[in-house]
């Protein structure tokens, strides 16, 4: 049995051991912590550059992820411009891991097999030709040797990357590409200069840039924001890591109506070819809103061939000629200078004033003699209008110009087209341009001023719009992912260009121009047109007599309740006598009649039954449920016993419609041939594809074959007929 002293000695010994153990543990932990702190400080400050350099060896340089440039649509949602990526293909024969021996000697993985594959795919060289072509690149040790002179699509590039030798990484194969973007237009050159163009290359920031038109105006919205990806070593291998996601560009919905645009362009080009004219412009505007429904600018590139070369409608600063007489008459009527039935003596068609000769177009027939003010407009008498304006403003020409300003002819329209011009109507005290004794009378019939055609149309549109002048609109909405981000509404420039009384008199004159005056070629039996002709000599070489003519017609239709206004300007016609009525007026008539015809509607219940017609319609392929609902409503028999899928192929028989399954598999491109645009776009976009459309009716072809594996974001073009 231990004594009390022995127990105390044991406790003392144990406490001593525990104390020494604690000291050892604290010292060891202190050393560890000190070591960690020391190494952290050394790593962070002393060896910082060394470790950063080592980290960079585990990560390859960042690369931009290119955003998709936004689409441009018509007012009726038809695709007018979309981006398609294209690629130039190169070889770097001095790449880090390039094995020249394998490239030359391997039968299955080298130059021989690669040449066969490239020849089969690209079809521009024989296998031997490709072998010699690639061998030249190898011998030259080029770092930028182009494999193929043309560009290839993304889908073709994916296939080429699977070819022998090229199926390795860039560092081993030396194969790389240079991406460019082509702006595809399903409707060709319709409204080309208004929609605009882009530069083909991708700049250093990873963006495509607008070059002209709406592409330039809304470039910052259309081009999007590039993302960033890096290639990092993970688990002994390399992998792509997306650090910043790209943001695709927004879409633009324009005011352009594709059908009206097509009608306008065809009507204009037909006349230009007939006249062998230098160029022509036509614009159709919706009266109430100011929405530009069609705008075409055609220039002759060779005899009989016309193309959109310049946006004459918005950019040309031209002397408008006799279409301007209506503005002069409006000012005179508003100021009480004259009334429509006031008489003016035009004599024999020749009038000398201020040392210059002024003539009417019928001078060789003895002139018009004494006519009324309204007849001066009907027959477009330079002398008649000039004498009326001189009567009221000869001693105070500034008052006349103030009247033009009051109408709004000099207002800045702030058009959405970057290269747009603006009206220039000078005052007598203008220090930049000399105001002579003849300026006032010549200005009264459309000379000595510069006004782009679309400004002149805006004035006539205001006459049609009960005196309210509105700004021409080219854009309806800006969209992102199908949702409206911003809508554009009608902007009023001048709520009333003149009094109601004056407006009624002017509108009566414009109807009479077409029905009684020089505008008779624009007269239509199917739709009433109102407007004014114009024929101006083009200035050049110090005079007007040898430089050709500018013929025009501006007006609106239907005259009694205007829906559309229109201007047509033809520059330097070479066939026939220059006439605004017979040339430009005839184009307006063609446009008006065709637009009217497309909007004619009939109640099918009032039409007689055609007994010889087939009673079973030929339906489109597509959504089964929607088709059955329509066929049931038409009381047409449906055979769908063997159809179990949501998407079907419809086969019209003599007295019924047979439905068959249309297989739709994930990750495979569906077949949309035979469908309408709505079903085709839905099905393709659901599969992850982008869609471009041309034509109307049902799908007759698709650029990406059915059953091919889907490449997300690839564009498929479908043609409807």
Decide if pLDDT at 659 tops 50.
yes
Decide if pLDDT at 613 tops 60.
no
Residue 3 lies in a domain: no
692 contacts: CB under 8 Å, gap ≥ 6: 79, 82, 184, 186, 715, 716, 717, 718
270 and 414 both lie in a single domain: yes
535 and 668 both lie in a single domain: no
Q: Using the 3D structure, point to which of 5, 36, 57 is the last residue of a domain.
A: 57
Which DSSP state fits 569?
Answer: E
Q: Choose among 282, 286, 215: nearest CA to 252.
A: 215
Residue 12 lies in a domain: no
**Token pair in block for residue 155:** 């889908």
Residue 212 lies in a domain: yes
Query: What pLDDT, on a 0 to 100 scale, did the predictor assign at position 52?
Result: 62
413 and 396 both lie in a single domain: yes
Q: Phi/psi of residue 718, each to 5°?
A: -115, 140
The answer to whether the CB of 428 falls within 8 A of the CB of 257 is no
Residue 697 lies in a domain: yes
628 and 507 both lie in a single domain: no
Decide if pLDDT at 695 tops 90.
no
Query: What pLDDT, on a 0 to 100 scale, did the predictor assign at position 681?
Result: 87
Residue 38 lies in a domain: yes
Residue 118 lies in a domain: yes
Residues 500-558 have pLDDT tens digits of 999 999 999 999 999 999 999 999 999 999 999 999 888 765 555 557 899 999 999 99
C-alpha distances in angstroms, 531 versus 318, 388, 547, 614?
Answer: 19, 21, 26, 46
SS3 for 178-226, per residue? EEEEEEECCCCCCCHHHHCCECCCCCCCCCCCECCHHHHHCHHHHCCEC
262 and 215 both lie in a single domain: no
Determine the structural domain holding residue 660 and report its residue range. Answer: 622-720
Which DSSP state fits 526?
Answer: S
653 contacts: CB under 8 Å, gap ≥ 6: 616
Q: Phi/psi of residue 134, each to 5°?
A: -70, -35
Query: What pLDDT, on a 0 to 100 scale, did the predictor assign at position 232?
Result: 62
196 and 314 both lie in a single domain: no
96 and 244 both lie in a single domain: yes
36 and 67 both lie in a single domain: no
Query: What pLDDT, on a 0 to 100 scale, did the predictor assign at position 602?
Result: 46
User: Could you tell me the CATH number of the domain that includes residue 712?
Assistant: 3.30.10.20
Query: What pLDDT, on a 0 to 100 scale, did the predictor assign at position 611?
Result: 47
3-state secondary structure (DSSP) of residue 512: helix
Residues 58-68 have pLDDT tens digits of 445 566 777 88
Q: Which residue has the higher pLDDT, 232 or 266?
A: 266
Q: Are strands 656-661 and 79-91 parallel, antiparallel or unpaired?
A: unpaired
636 and 587 both lie in a single domain: no
Q: Using the 3D structure, point to which of 237, 254, 271 is the last residue of a domain.
A: 254
Residue 572 lies in a domain: yes
**Token pair in block for residue 698:** 């049902």
Decide if pLDDT at 466 tops 80.
yes
Output the pTM of the full model. Answer: 0.71
Buried residues in 424-451 as b, exposed as e (16+ CB within 10 A): ebbeeeeeeeebeebbbbbbbbbbbbbb
Residues 333-391 have pLDDT tens digits of 999 999 999 999 999 999 999 989 999 999 999 999 999 999 999 999 999 999 999 99
3-state secondary structure (DSSP) of residue 477: strand
Residues 98-147 have pLDDT tens digits of 988 889 988 888 999 999 999 999 999 999 999 999 999 999 999 999 99
301 and 448 both lie in a single domain: yes
User: Could you tell me the CATH number of the domain that includes residue 565?
Assistant: 3.40.710.10
Residues 33-48 have pLDDT tens digits of 777 777 777 766 666 6
What's the rounded Cα separation, in Å, for the pair 624 and 417?
A: 45
Query: What pLDDT, on a 0 to 100 scale, did the predictor assign at position 667?
Result: 83
What's the rounded Cα separation, in Å, for the pair 614 and 609?
A: 11
3-state secondary structure (DSSP) of residue 228: strand
Average pLDDT, the chain: 86
C-alpha distances in angstroms, 223 versus 48, 65, 218, 336?
Answer: 39, 13, 9, 55
User: Could you tell me the CATH number of the domain that includes residue 213?
Assistant: 3.90.1310.10
DSSP assignment string, 646-702: SEEEEEE-SSEEEEEE----TTBPPP-TTB-HHHHHHHHHHTT-EEEEEESSSEEEE
Residue 41 lies in a domain: yes
Q: How many domains does the chain have?
A: 4
Q: Using the 3D structure, point to which of 583, 598, 613 is the last residue of a domain.
A: 598
549 and 650 both lie in a single domain: no
486 and 568 both lie in a single domain: yes
Residues 352-367 have pLDDT tens digits of 999 899 999 999 999 9
């Amino acid at each position: 049995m231990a004594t009390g002293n022995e127990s105390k000695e044991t406790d003392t010994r144990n406490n001593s051991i525990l104390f020494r153990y604690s000291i050892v543990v604290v010292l060891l932990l202190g050393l560890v912590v000190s070591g960690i702190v020391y190494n952290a400080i050394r790593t962070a400050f002393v060896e910082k550059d060394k470790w950063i350099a080592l980290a960079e060896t585990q990560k390859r340089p960042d690369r931009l992820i290119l955003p998709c440039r936004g689409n441009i649509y018509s007012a009726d949602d038809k695709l007018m411009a979309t981006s398609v990526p294209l690629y130039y293909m190169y070889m770097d024969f001095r790449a880090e891991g390039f094995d020249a021996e394998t490239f030359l000697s391997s039968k299955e993985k080298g130059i021989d097999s690669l040449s066969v594959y490239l020849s089969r795919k690209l079809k521009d060289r024989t296998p031997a030709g490709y072998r010699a072509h690639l061998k030249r690149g190898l011998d030259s040790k080029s770092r930028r040797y182009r494999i193929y002179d043309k560009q290839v699509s993304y889908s073709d590039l994916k296939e080429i990357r699977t070819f022998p030798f090229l199926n390795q990484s860039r560092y081993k194969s030396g194969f790389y590409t240079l991406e460019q973007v082509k702006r595809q237009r399903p409707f060709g050159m319709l409204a080309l200069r208004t929609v605009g163009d882009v530069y083909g290359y991708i700049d250093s920031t990873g963006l495509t840039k607008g070059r002209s038109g709406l592409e330039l105006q809304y470039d910052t919205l259309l081009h999007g924001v590039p993302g960033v990806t890096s290639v990092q070593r993970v688990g002994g291998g390399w992998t792509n890591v997306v650090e910043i996601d790209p943001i695709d560009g927004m879409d633009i919905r324009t005011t352009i109506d594709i059908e009206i645009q097509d009608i306008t362009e065809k009507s204009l080009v037909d006349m230009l070819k007939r006249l062998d004219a230098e160029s022509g412009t036509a614009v159709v505007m919706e009266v109430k809103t100011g929405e530009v429904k069609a705008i075409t600018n055609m220039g002759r590139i060779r005899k009989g061939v016309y193309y959109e070369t310049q946006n004459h409608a918005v950019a040309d600063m031209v002397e408008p000629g006799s279409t301007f007489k209506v503005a002069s008459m409006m000012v005179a009527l508003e100021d009480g200078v004259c009334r429509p039935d006031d008489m003016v003596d035009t004599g024999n068609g020749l009038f000398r004033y201020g040392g210059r000769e002024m003539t009417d177009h019928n001078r060789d027939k003895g002139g018009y003699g004494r006519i009324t003010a309204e007849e001066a407009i009907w027959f477009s008498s330079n002398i008649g209008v000039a004498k009326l304006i001189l009567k009221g403003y000869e001693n105070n020409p500034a008052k006349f110009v103030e009247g033009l300003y009051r109408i709004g002819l000099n207002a800045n329209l702030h058009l959405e087209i970057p290269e747009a011009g603006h009206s220039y109507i000078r005052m007598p005290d203008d220090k930049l341009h000399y105001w002579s004794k003849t300026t006032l009378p010549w200005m009264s019939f459309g000379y000595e001023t510069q006004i782009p055609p679309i400004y002149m149309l805006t004035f006539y549109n205001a006459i049609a719009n009960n005196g309210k002048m509105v700004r021409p609109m080219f854009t309806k909405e800006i969209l992102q992912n199908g949702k409206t981000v911003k809508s554009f509404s009608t902007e009023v420039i001048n709520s009333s260009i003149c009094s109601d009384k004056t407006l009624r008199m002017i509108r009566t004159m414009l109807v009479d121009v077409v029905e009684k005056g020089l505008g008779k070629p624009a007269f239509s039996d199917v739709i009433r047109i109102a407007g004014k002709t114009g024929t101006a000599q083009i200035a050049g070489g110090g005079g007007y007599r040898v430089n050709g003519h500018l013929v025009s017609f501006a007006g609106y239709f239907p005259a009694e309740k205007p829906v559309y206004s229109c201007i047509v300007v033809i520059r330097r016609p070479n066939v026939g006598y220059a006439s605004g009525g017979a040339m430009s007026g005839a184009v307006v008539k063609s446009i008006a009649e065709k637009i009217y015809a497309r909007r004619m509607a009939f109640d099918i219940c009032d039409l007689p039954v055609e007994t010889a017609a087939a009673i079973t319609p030929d339906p489109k392929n597509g959504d089964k449920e929607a088709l059955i609902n329509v066929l049931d409503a038409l009381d047409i028999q449906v055979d769908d016993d063997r159809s179990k899928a949501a998407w079907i192929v419809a086969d019209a028989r003599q007295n019924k419609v047979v439905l068959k399954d249309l297989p739709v598999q994930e990750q495979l491109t569906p077949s949309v041939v035979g469908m309408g645009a709505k079903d085709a776009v839905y099905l393709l976009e659901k599969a992850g594809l982008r869609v471009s459309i041309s034509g109307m009716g049902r799908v007759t072809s698709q650029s990406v074959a059915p059953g091919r594996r889907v490449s997300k974001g690839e564009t498929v073009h479908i043609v409807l007929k």
